[in-house]
Amino acid sequence: IQKALDTADGPGDGAEDVVCISGIFHETLVMRHGGAAGYYVRDGFQFPKNPTMIVGWDKDGDGHYPPYDKDDTAVLDGKGMLAWAIDNRRKLSHVEIAHLTVKNYGYREDNCGAFKLFRWGDGHQSHVYVHDVEFHAINRAEKDASAKIVFSFWGGPMTHVAFINNLVDEYSSYFCRGAPPDKAGHFRFQNNTLRMYGISGGSFVTGWKLWGHHRDVEVLDNVLDANAHAWKPLGHVSGIGVCQGTQDWTIRGNVLIDLGVTLQPVAKGYPFERTLDRIRIDRNVFRSTYAGWRWPPIGVKISGFKDAPAHQSVENTTITRNFFSTSA
């Protein structure tokens, strides 16, 4: 696959480069070119119009694509030895990744996960679209660490990032973590299923933890499952963390199993001169199914610490039409 990416000529001709995958590959892919500038709008969100694409191939031509069509195979397998599946170290924009299976990445490295699509440095990134990908056993054999992230959001300003219709099964540490800076935002996470898994000896597993001066994050119609009954022994889990400095979140239509939403306007030692503002938590289902958690994580919590500065607060937040239940 890397040879194909190295051969692709980039966006100079105004058209996309498409690298189709058929088979099972043991690689870390380094992207060389972004796509042609431009976007289309669907459901109020901007998606890349002519991106560079890494996509599973409908080899039998029946109109159905992997990973759902079991007659086709498109797999990146780290085999427990590679840190990253796809590395966009050149900060390329207009990228689409779709119809793959990504498994067994993120082992034995502190800075590891599945996709490293953003990086610090000069330049703005935009229009990155990941959809219809199955992730299995990412960081699965590692204890938690702040740099072990399935979908890392550490990097310079980036806008219009969509992560839609994916499965992230039995991951450890973080699904999405980072502090996008000023002029970053417009992130959509929709129709994804996430299942956590902590390793022996306890672990900390988190869904989203984002902070910084970015705006407009949509977390829509996802299923986030702590998978509590599979942990031996139990560790600590966190669902959706809306943390210091960020604004304009919509958390709507999600199902959170043994998990909750935390609004954290301040973290000790990490001051931000901006309130949490305009947060909408609407029509979510919170289900508590496991009585063994030491710190029950279900519900909506506003977190902070004593004597925090007045400007580090939560404002203009609506919590409406949610459903809370317990069978624990």
Q: Which residue has the higher pLDDT, 312 or 200?
A: 312
pLDDT digits 0-9 by tens, 257-270? 999 999 998 876 66
| pLDDT exceeds cutoff 60 at 201 | no
For residue 188, give the nearest of 10, 60, 11, 41 by alpha carbon.
41
Express each pLDDT in 31-79 by its tens digit. 999 999 999 999 999 999 999 999 999 999 999 999 999 899 999 999 9
DSSP letters for 130-156: EEEEEEESTTTTS---TTEEEEE--SS
pLDDT confidence band for 231 (50 / 70 / 90): confident
pTM exceeds 0.75, yes or no? yes
Q: Per-residue confidence at 98, pLDDT binned at 50, 70, 90?
A: very high
Owner of token pair 């500065």: 309
Summarize the confidence of residues 88-106 as an average pLDDT: 94
As a whole number of angstroms, the distance between CA 16 and CA 95 comes to 9
Cα–Cα distance for residue pair 296/277, rounded to 1 Å = 26
pLDDT tens-digit readout, 145-179: 788 899 999 988 999 999 999 999 999 889 999 99
pLDDT for residue 311 is more than 70: no
Q: In the Cβ-directed half-sphere of 317, how many Cα atoms lie within 13 Å? A: 22
The pLDDT mean for the chain works out to: 89
